[in-house]
Amino acid sequence: MADYNEESNRLTIKIVYYGPALSGKTTNIMRLHDLIAPQLKGEIMTLETQNDRTLFFDLLPLAFTASTGLLIKFKLFTVPGQVAHDGTRKAVLSRADGVVFVADSQRSQSVNNGESFDNLAENVHRVGLDLDRLPLVVQFNKRDQTNILSEAEISQRWSAASWPIVFASALHGDGVVDTFSQLLAQVHRNLDTEFQLVSKHGIEQRSFVESACATIG
């Protein structure tokens, strides 16, 4: 859950990128990092295995200051997709304010996508979050690859889902900011309930999203 420090007038928000191994979670964060103005972004931290798979998590802090003086900081994490690291996934997911589920659009990865989303639902419950209330965006990444599911097929398969679906190619930056902004719109809803962003701090949903995305360029 977001951490509000009244003394320093700072609100820290935790966003987690979740999904199967090699679906492009780290690439999403790297593209955001590339776009953020240098004076507004923190150092990206990565830990990788010898075969370039993220072992623990990536952490990218970014921030903006609202007109009322409230400093809003975002901490973006990815989880390791490999099955062996479920304990780490739960630890990173704990107290998340929003989740981007990064699926792989390639037909060969449909089973992995399903298993990873089931794992997300299970771990959300285990860390005490509510999937029905948790801000969530599903991103189908790797649209630049061959032998991918069509947008119509994906929309049909996910027609019963209530979460927004974004089609992306994080490798080329397509859909990365759109995914982030759609998640923030949902995050604002929950944070306004808890921290009175509108009534106390004068931060409407639109300005919240636009201010955060303005730091990305």
pLDDT in tens, 105-116: 999 999 999 999
Radius of gyration of the chain (CA): 17
30 close to 46: Cβ distance less than 8 angstroms: no
Specify the pLDDT at position 55: 52
Cβ proximity of 132 and 161 under 8 Å: no
pLDDT of residue 80: 81
Can you tell me the distance from the alpha carbon of 47 to that of 25, in angstroms, rounded to the nearest whole number? 13
Report how far apart, in Å, the C-alpha atoms of 14 and of each of 70, 106, 141, 161, 167 are: 16, 29, 22, 23, 23
| Per-residue pLDDT reduced to its tens digit, 54-82 | 655 567 778 888 888 999 999 999 988 77
Tell me the C-alpha distance between 113 and 136, whole Å: 15
Q: What is the pLDDT of residue 50?
A: 53
Q: CA 1 from chain center: how many Å?
A: 14
In the chain, where are the structural domains located?
A: 3-215
The yes or no reply on domain 3-215 and CATH 3.30.70.980 is: no
How is residue 163 annotated by DSSP? S
Cα(16)–Cα(52) distance, integer angstroms: 20
Nearest to 70 by CA among 4, 165, 133: 4
The first and second tokens of residue 46, run together, are 């990565």
Q: Which of the residues in the chain have pLDDT under 70? A: 47-58, 217
